Structure formats: C-alpha cells, structure tokens
Amino acid sequence: MTMDFRETLRIASRSIRSHKLRSVLTVIGVVIGIASVVTFATFGASVEADIVGDIGSTSASNVYVLPTPGGEDDGGGGPGPGIGGLAQPVFTDNDVTQLREIDGVRQTLPRGNVRVNSLSYANDTVSRNQITATTPASFPADAIVEGRAFESGEQEVVVSEAATQAFETNLSVGDSLSITRANGEQASVAVVGIANRTAGQFSFASFGGQPRFYVPIEPFYQRTVESPSLGVNQRAYPQVTVVAEPARINTVKNDVQAFLGDSDAAELKPESVELSAQTSGDFVEDIQEIINQVTRFVTGIAVIALIVGAIGIANIMLVSVTERTREIGIMKAVGARNRDVMGLFLAEATVLGGAGAIVGLPLGLAVAYGATAYAEVAFTPAYVWFAIAVGVGVLVGVVAGLYPAWRAARVDPIDALRYE
C-alpha cells in the first residue's frame, strides 16, 4: 500500500475534523503568534515610513547648526532639546550674519527660548516654561494655515494648530494673548497667524502635537553675550537653522562645519560641547535604527506566541498518535510503509500550522491597520514579514509534527493491533 499526496491530505483533514474543538484551540495559538508578528512588524514599518517621509518632505534643505555633547560627563548623546550644550546660547548675531554669506545659503534662521511663567486668554491661564523666539522667515507661505507671519519688532505671536485649543475658548487670528514672563513682566500680544510648522524646527519637532507659541526675536529675546570677534554685546542663540539650495545641501553642510571652527560659538561653547552641522538625513539613520530595534524587540516577543503554538501542535499530535495506535497498526498490516505513516502525521501538523498562518495573516493586518489609524500614521504593509509569518506558520507545523510522526512510524504493527 502506497498513499499518494492527495490521499494523505484527505486522511489528515478527516482526522482534524473529527476533533474540531481540540484542533481549533491548537490553531488559535499559531494564529495569535502570527497575527502578533504581522501587527508589530507592520506598525513599525508604518511609523518608520511616516517619520522618514515627513522629514524628507518638510526639511530636506535644512542644515541644523547647534552645540551637541562631546565630552564624557555631559550626560547625553546626540542632538535634542535640553540635552548637553543645546540650551547654551553660543551663536551670536555675527555668526548668523557670517553663515548667511556662505555660498549656497538661502536663509539663516536663529532660534531662542523666552522664559515665561504662563499664558492667559479669555480668563483662562495655562502654565508654560518657555516660548520660542525666531524670525518671520521661519514661516513659509505654505506653513501658515490662517493669518500671516508676525513682523519683527511688533507685539505679535504665531501659534501652532494645537495651541489654538490650549485654552477653554479656542484661539483665533485677531485675539489678544497675555504673556507673563519669568521676571513677572506682562506683555499683551496679538495672534496674527496659525501655522502647522516652521522652517527652522527640528525634523521631528512636530510629531508631539504640543501647543507652540512663536514670537519675534525683537523685542522678546534678550539673551546677549560679548562677541569674541567684535568685542561688543550681541544676541546669542542656542540654535541656528541654515536653509540651503537643495542641490547644494552637502556642500553647504561642509562649509558650515568648516566655518564653525572659527566662529564666535567656538569661543563661547563649554569644553564638553562640540559644534555640529547636521542635515535631516543625519537624523534619519538614527531614527530608523531606533525604530528597527524596537520593532525587532516586540516582534521577538510575538515569536514566543508562535513557540507556544508549536508546543500545542506537538502536544495534539502526540495525543493523536496514542489515540490512533490501532489505526496505525491496521495501516501497516495492509502494506503502509513507515514513510507513509510519517507523511500522514506530518501532513496533519502542517495543515494545522498552515491554517494558523492563513487566519493569522489577515487578522494581523486588520489589527495593524487599526493601530496605524489610531496613531494617525499612514498604513505601510511589511511584505517581507508577511512571507516570513506564513513561512514560519507552516514551518512550526512541520517542526512540531516531526517527533510525533517519527514515533508513529516506529509503531510495531503487531503491538498496535493488540492495543485497546
């Protein structure tokens, strides 16, 4: 007796159907594992694509000029607000002017923090530690949702879309906002614009959706230092963004980095701080690596569920071998070979694993789609992981069924026929 592949699958399917509840519970373990892998991998790919796409579309021409930690005792690494030397106002007005004269530079956008205690509007007050002082050029036309950019020297403010909902009554263009500064002084400013971004912000600064308030450097920002090159007091900023011609971004970055060595900032910075010029592309690799590490970690946790599913398949197959000992003996008595018996049980285990993959893949996609919609990021399928998940599901069935199938093939037909 030799069974062909079609007959093997028919007998395996009949055995699975005869124990529906047990088979379903076993498949559920594989479904959960594969769905988890697909969900985490797809969500990670979606977040990565959304962040990288946003960086590339909004700030591809930006060169960020800022102090970054360079020593061992500064307590951090990499650029970011409040880290290392980034809060140090070391770039003078003279530096800003010199940067603007570099060939290929379109704009230089200095940026500083104004210390405040609170903001008030319509008898409602919210606490804030600081607001941002910058230049009108920081607001390109396509960034203004409503109104206009503020004018230098005026008591005006531009707010983010999230800031319009920071008070009980929504802010609108034309409203008056009261600012209480850290020294207790109060200033009344007119809301002249609502923006969805600024040209000088970090590539990832808009992701948090926090309320942001922008005022003109003149008259609000008053941090000054003595310029080492000119010997006079000038405003100093913790960060300057250089907007370069798109075709010359790398050249401008190198020229800016070379200039920093002879700048006022080089004299004013702490010894533990280095001056750097970084583009959006420099941030992308770091962001991608972080996201990939997190994705691999959570996906690895999901693989544990697949291992549990494999154990479940192995368990049900071992039970099946015991229950069908007499059937195995009859098969061998009528001419079935060891490989036929082994193939039968392997087919049964593979069907269970394959069923888990078929159900788990769309379930994982559905959960991932819901997660990306909730997180407000574009859905980006991780096709490689889909293939891996399905392959692993089938492989789990095969591996889990190997020992039970081998054990079934070694059953002695005489002893099997005596089994009750």
Give, for all 420 residues of the chain, the pLDDT tens digit: 455 667 777 777 887 788 788 888 888 888 888 888 888 888 888 887 776 665 555 556 788 887 776 543 333 333 444 333 446 789 999 999 999 999 999 889 999 999 999 999 988 999 989 999 999 999 988 889 999 999 999 999 999 999 999 999 999 999 999 999 988 899 999 999 999 888 766 655 544 468 899 999 999 999 999 999 999 999 999 989 998 887 888 899 999 999 998 999 999 988 888 888 888 767 666 777 888 888 778 877 777 877 777 788 788 777 777 777 777 777 777 777 777 777 877 888 888 888 888 898 899 999 999 988 888 788 888 888 788 777 877 787 777 777 777 777 777 766 656 655
What does the pLDDT read at residue 82?
39
What does the pLDDT read at residue 53?
62
Cα gap 135→61, rounded to integer Å? 18
What does the pLDDT read at residue 217?
94
> What is the pairing mode between strands 213-216 and 130-134?
parallel
What does the pLDDT read at residue 70?
54
Phi, psi values for residue 3, rounded to 5°:
-90, 135
> What is the pairing mode between strands 156-160 and 186-195?
parallel
Beta bridge partners of 277: 65
Cβ contact 37:364 at 8 Å: yes
How is residue 170 annotated by DSSP?
P
Which three-class secondary structure state does DSSP give residue 244? strand
What does the pLDDT read at residue 75?
35
- In 3D space, the residue among 393, 391, 271, 346 whose CA is nearest the CA of residue 27 turns out to be 393
In this structure, is the dihedral angle defined by the CA atoms of residues 60, 249, 83 and 98, taken in order, positive or negative?
negative
Cβ contact 187:116 at 8 Å: no
- Cut 0.75: pTM above it: no
Cα gap 36→363, rounded to integer Å? 9
What does the pLDDT read at residue 232?
94
Residue 212 CA: distances (Å) to CA of 128, 139, 171, 205, 297: 10, 13, 12, 10, 34
Please give the order of strands across the beta sheet that includes 224-226: 91-92, 233-237, 224-226
What does the pLDDT read at residue 419?
55
Cα gap 405→340, rounded to integer Å? 10
Phi, psi values for residue 74, rounded to 5°:
-90, -5
